[in-house]
Amino acid sequence: MQKGCACKFLYGPETKEEEKAMIDKSLESKTELKMEVVFYKKNGSPFDCLLDIVPIKNEKGDVVLFLASHKDITHTKNLQLCELHDSDSNGNIDPEAPPSNYGRRRSRAVLYQLSGHYKQDNKHKIKLNNTLLHSTAPPLPEYKTSAIKKSQFILSHYGGFKSCWDWLILIATFYVAIIVPYNASFINTDRPTMVSDVVVEALFIIDIVLNFRTTYVSRKGEVVSNSKSIAVNYVKSWFLVDLVAALPFDFLYASDVYSGEESAHSNIHLVKLTRLLRLARLLQKMDRYSQYSAVILTMLMLFFILVAHWLACIWYVIAEKERLRNDKDWDLGWIHTLAERLKISVQNVTHTESYITALYFTCSSLTSVGFGNVSANTFSEKFFSICTMLIGALMHAVVFGNVTAIIQRMYSRRSLYQTKLRDLKDFLVLHQIPEELKQRMQDYFQTMWSLNHGIDVHETLKQFPEELRGDVSMHLHREILSLPIFEAASQGCLKLLSLHIRNNFCAPGEFLVHKGDALSYIYYLCNGSMEVVQNSMVVAILGKP
């Protein structure tokens, strides 16, 4: 039974007109109302009711519904009147005072007493609750998702600042993945990237501090904003990796350079290779973008380039160690071969020339298209070449296999269209469909595909519960359900109707129904126009008003 919040069905002879007006005014102005009113039960007997009407607001501050509570206070009021009569007989209240004042005063006391806004310290003394006067919470309830209660020093993991910061850390991580191996392989003392390295190091240290003050989602799906819980979770997960990656190696190196003690830590960049552990966090963050094919395709190619870059650095280190370990007249390494082709000495081969040649070798080895112009000569180089080829075979299967799958998924809808169109053409040829019918079928197929792209709405919604299917169907067919014929229908009726609505498309010249046909559907014209033909003559045209 659906009744209005004004509860007019409870009105009776003793219900005062001013009380009715107050209720109507409260509902019309969407304000809170608390009052005593005389209502009537189903059997016709009156009762004193404490009525409390509270408007409920949504996120936008709009009143979406009213909360009306009714409390029968007849018995309580009778007890209060008995106490009032006893106090009158004992002389506690002035007998000359009008009876209406007593009733008003006692009614007000009962009202506040029952509503919880007053608390009774003793039998006859009533005091206003201090929590109501000093409360800063909104007096009206709100119909919306409750906000996360967190300190102002706690960052939201989904906030705008944290998103921008994550992208900054992502760029810094890629910088580390490229520069650190290059410096460890090609640069020993001269560090042109020292300033940028110190900046990246500072970013990693700040990131650790922010991670201790950033909310996270628990296994139960709840957003945790308690600082102690955040700290425990971070220490148990990525704190150790971030701490190792943020050790101030660059700061120590910079201090040695300015103090003139650079030789003491000339190999400190080798220890910085531990910062590559931050790439593990990068893989975790990429899960949120797994539904975007273009992003995954880009990340796979970047991963392939990174591996080729790392192997190129190792390839150069092997050649350099071989050259330093052997005599000056030793010339079997690939760097010596490069120097001979460039017609310069080995010492004059620049780092850029060496790096480009090493990267060319690793890329050709990983893709299995090596031309042999850069080849392994020594035992160490041959062993590394074998390892590179094995890694290349694995990466070729993983990376390029995923790339192929992603590209196929990007064009899967077009492939499905070609398959269905080919099946249709085979059907037309197999059954020798006349040319006119053939053209009509092909036109209908192409039109329907352009409208729904081959997606069957009803098959897609089958996996969802009926309540959710009804809501989605009401959204899809909202144009039909907004017709005047459905204005008086309830929400449940509209939801049930939406589950049975089917979209139908008629090409120009197609007949929807003939005279004498058994009707299974009621048709509503949503777009376009239709002709009513009788004896080959158009007698009416149907269209949207």
pLDDT tens readout for residues 349-361 = 888 888 999 999 9
Higher model confidence: residue 221 or residue 484? 484
H or E element at residue 236: helix 227-236
The residue segments making up the domain with residue 338 are 160-357
Q: What type of residue is 411?
A: Y
Instruction: Based on the fold, state whether residues 349 and 225 are members of the same structural domain.
Output: yes
Give yes or no for residue 213 having a pLDDT over 80: yes
Percent of the chain with pLDDT over 90: 6
With a threshold of 0.85, does the pTM exceed it? no
Most confidently predicted of 2-6, 267-271, 492-496: 492-496
Is the CB of residue 230 less than 8 Å from the CB of residue 218? no
Instruction: Based on the fold, state whether residues 197 and 60 are members of the same structural domain.
Output: no
Question: What is the Cα–Cα distance from 12 to 196, expressed in whole angstroms?
Answer: 83
Using pLDDT thresholds of 50, 70 and 90, give the confidence band for residue 309: very high
**What does the chain come to in residues?**
545
For 374-383, write each residue's pLDDT tens digit: 878 888 888 9
The per-residue pLDDT of the chain, averaged, comes to 77
For 53, phi then psi, to 5°, come to -110, 125
Of 111, 107, 114, 113, the C-alpha closest to 125 is: 113
Most confidently predicted of 154-163, 260-269, 489-498, 520-529: 489-498
Instruction: Based on the fold, state whether residues 345 and 443 are members of the same structural domain.
Output: no
Instruction: Based on the fold, state whether residues 235 and 308 are members of the same structural domain.
Output: yes
For 381-428, write each residue's pLDDT tens digit: 889 999 999 998 888 888 777 777 777 777 777 888 888 889 999 999
Query: Distance of CA 373 to CAs 308, 316, 369, 370, Å?
Result: 18, 16, 12, 8
Query: Distance of CA 15 to CAs 37, 59, 101, 107, Å?
Result: 7, 36, 20, 16
Mapped onto helix, strand or coil, the DSSP state of residue 378 is: coil
- Is 443 within the bounds of a domain? yes
Instruction: Based on the fold, state whether residues 186 and 255 are members of the same structural domain.
Output: yes
Instruction: Based on the fold, state whether residues 198 and 331 are members of the same structural domain.
Output: yes
Question: What is the Cα–Cα distance from 119 to 114, expressed in whole angstroms?
Answer: 9
- Is 179 within the bounds of a domain? yes
Instruction: Based on the fold, state whether residues 444 and 295 are members of the same structural domain.
Output: no
Mapped onto helix, strand or coil, the DSSP state of residue 170 is: helix
Domain count, the chain: 3
CB atoms within 10 A of CB 172: 20
**Where does residue 333 fall: left (phi above 0), alpha (psi -120 to 50 degrees), or beta otherwise?**
beta
Last-in-domain residue among 49, 82, 115: 82
- Is 321 within the bounds of a domain? yes
Q: Where are the alpha helices (DSSP H) in 30-98?
A: 74-90
- Is 431 within the bounds of a domain? yes
- Taking residues 212-216, what's their average pLDDT? 88
Query: Distance of CA 95 to CAs 85, 86, 125, 366, Å?
Result: 11, 12, 20, 106
Longest dimension (CA), the chain: 129
Instruction: Based on the fold, state whether residues 203 and 299 are members of the same structural domain.
Output: yes
Is the CB of residue 132 less than 8 Å from the CB of residue 177? no
